[in-house]
């Protein structure tokens, strides 16, 4: 069974983050620049929360707040659900579904080592299924 560490080997371990006191506008700009839907909120090396496009829409736009004046800590989600590199892809899919979340920071020995999204998890499942199907086809043909 594939694990998060295998997924990170393929996609990379790059983590995009923002500090809690930064304006939400900077966080949204960083998400756009990096083509991601969420950023980790880091206080030094410590994971303080996560801020997503969903947080922005629901906690800034719908409430008529100012993106330039609202700090990230006021809209971030915390505490953050995390996984380890040893978690299975299936466990992560279950967690995302049960908690209705789209991004999981990966933490090893107290340090953030990556982030997996629901899109990454779905791609991993599809790739695994395609590989299994190809094996079955080779078996039947052989």
Tens digit of each residue's pLDDT (9 = 90 or more) over 3-57: 999 999 988 889 999 999 999 999 999 999 999 999 999 999 999 999 999 999 9
103-129: average pLDDT: 94
For residue 41, give the CATH number of its domain.
3.10.580.10
Average predicted confidence (pLDDT) for the chain? 94
pLDDT of residue 82: 97
Find where tokens 């579904």 sit: 97
Domain count, the chain: 1
More confident residue, 73 or 136: 73
Reported pTM: 0.88
The conformational region for residue 36 under phi > 0 = left, psi -120 to 50 = alpha, else beta, is: beta
pLDDT of residue 57: 94
Domain extent for 120 = 4-141
Find where tokens 């380890």 sit: 84
pLDDT of residue 12: 84
Contact between 120 and 7 (Cβ < 8 Å): yes
């Amino acid at each position: 069974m594939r694990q998060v560490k295998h997924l990170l080997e393929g996609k990379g371990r790059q983590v995009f983050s923002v500090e809690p006191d930064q304006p939400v506008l900077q966080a949204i700009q960083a998400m756009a620049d990096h083509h991601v839907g969420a950023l980790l909120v880091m206080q030094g090396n410590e994971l303080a929360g996560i801020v997503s496009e969903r947080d922005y829409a629901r906690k800034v736009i719908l409430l008529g707040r100012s993106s330039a004046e609202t700090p990230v800590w006021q809209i971030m989600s915390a505490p953050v659900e995390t996984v380890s590199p040893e978690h299975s892809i299936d466990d992560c899919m279950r967690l995302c579904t049960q908690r209705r979340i789209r991004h999981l920071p990966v933490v090893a020995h107290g340090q953030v080592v990556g982030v997996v999204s629901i899109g990454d998890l779905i791609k991993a499942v599809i790739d695994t299924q395609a590989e299994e199907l190809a094996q079955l086809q080779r078996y039947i043909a052989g």
